Amino acid sequence: MRADDGDVALQTLLLPFADGSLTWPGEGGALFLRARDGWPLHQRRWPGLVCEQTFKPEAEALERSGLPLASSDDSTRYPLVLVLPPRQREEARALFARAVARCAPGGRVVACLGNNEGAKSGEADLARIAGPVSSNSKHKCRVFWTAPLQGPADGALMQEWLLADEPRPILDGRFVSRPGVFAWDRIDAASRLLAEHLPTDLAGRAADLGAGYGYLASELLARCPRISALDLFEAESRALDLARTNLAAFADRVALDFHWHDVTRGLDQRFDVIVSNPPFHAQGRADRPDIGRRFIAVAAQALNPGGRLWLVANRHLPYESELGAHFGQVRTVAERDGFKAIEAVRATASPPLKQAAR
């Protein structure tokens, strides 16, 4: 069970089964899209529950709790589909459409959103493709569910929403991306700042920590011809799949490797260069500077002696003490639009690598 037991959306999602409004299916199980672990999943048995999660930290938490993850080729239709939709509306609509498509005849879709995360809009969206829904509110969240379904109420709209979440060309075709990925339809201003200041003499084996759809990695390879290998580490598999496509043009020149990995769990490889625009949120809105500090510590531990970290961060985030504790040289290279680009050099012998947590 996760230490964070404050997931009120998860608690509210299961409320209709706790108060008797709905009955858990007797056979056939249930599919939980965007599943998260938490104590409500452990207060009673949920027979046949299968979870789907593309964000590595959440997927690992589910596995550690003994909750099965759906295989990537699973196309089973279930008598119950649970959904915790994301904030990004196109991605959330596609998730509702997938939930309806994965629902067996006579089955239901049950979803929950926080009131300040678009609960009313989410309820209205589900009703548009599934027909009338029932709802209940608690813990500043809204849980809503369909009547027994025999298919979508609006099949054309369901297909439209599914297609809206498909990878598509962006930035005049330079990249492919999709809704829900960080800065999905643009170049993030912080990453742009860092890319503009990458020196052309960076060389050797490199890594991009928190690679997203691959913009920073592509800029590194375009600007630094002496990079011989590049490993991309990304916790969101939807983004990592895009990065594979976006970096394909460099595959003949550079050895590329792609890792669905939570960087905060550590690395078990050595690098000469690391670039990173570390996340400063998890899946909520609150600042999480601890994530960036952990990225810095992991980067320092993974760099060879003399290795260079090129990092960008919000100007207000307090990373300097962490950088000073792990690197021999630290300098701010540029500041713009509320961001700072930093170079840090690992001047002393690196400690022995710790095996990355699995």
> What is the Rg, in whole angstroms, of the alpha carbon atoms belonging to the chain?
22
Of 82-96, 198-212, 271-285, where does mean pLDDT reach its minimum?
271-285
Instruction: Pinpoint the residues of the chain covered by CATH 3.40.50.150.
Output: 8-164, 168-345
285 has a pLDDT exceeding 60: no
**pLDDT tens column, 51-62:** 999 999 999 999
115 has a pLDDT exceeding 60: yes
**pLDDT tens column, 184-194:** 999 999 999 99
Best CA proximity match to 46, nearest among 17, 72, 70:
17
Give the model's pLDDT for residue 281: 61
- Mean pLDDT to the nearest integer, 29-47: 95
pTM, 2 dp: 0.92
350 three-state secondary structure: coil
Q: At 186, phi and psi to the nearest 5?
A: -160, 175
| CA atoms in the 13 A half-sphere facing the CB of 101 | 17
Core vs surface per residue 291-318: b (16+ CB within 10 A) or e: bbbbbbbbbbbbbeeebbbbbbbeeebe
DSSP character at residue 283:
S
**pLDDT tens column, 210-232:** 999 999 999 999 999 999 999 99
Give the model's pLDDT for residue 286: 60
Give the model's pLDDT for residue 2: 40
Give the model's pLDDT for residue 105: 97
CATH of domain 168-345: 3.40.50.150
**pLDDT tens column, 162-185:** 999 999 999 999 999 999 999 999
DSSP character at residue 55:
B
Give bridge partners of residue 168 from the DSSP assignment.
177
**pLDDT tens column, 296-328:** 999 999 999 999 999 999 998 889 899 999 999
Give the model's pLDDT for residue 353: 60
Confidence of residue 39 (pLDDT cuts 50, 70, 90): very high
CATH architecture of 8-164: 3-Layer(aba) Sandwich (3.40)
What does the DSSP assignment read for 227-271? Answer: EEEEEEEESBHHHHHHHHHHTGGGTTTSEEEEEE--GGG---S-E
Give the model's pLDDT for residue 144: 98
> Measured between alpha carbons, how far is 268 from 352 in angstroms, rounded to an integer?
10
Best CA proximity match to 298, nearest among 274, 329, 321:
274
* 33 within 8 A of 101, measured Cβ to Cβ: no
Contacts of 66 (CB under 8 A, 6+ apart): none
**Most distant CA atoms of the chain, gap in Å:** 65
71 has a pLDDT exceeding 90: no
Percent of all residues in the chain with a pLDDT value above 90, rounded to a whole number? 88
**pLDDT tens column, 320-357:** 899 999 999 999 999 999 999 999 999 766 555 655 55
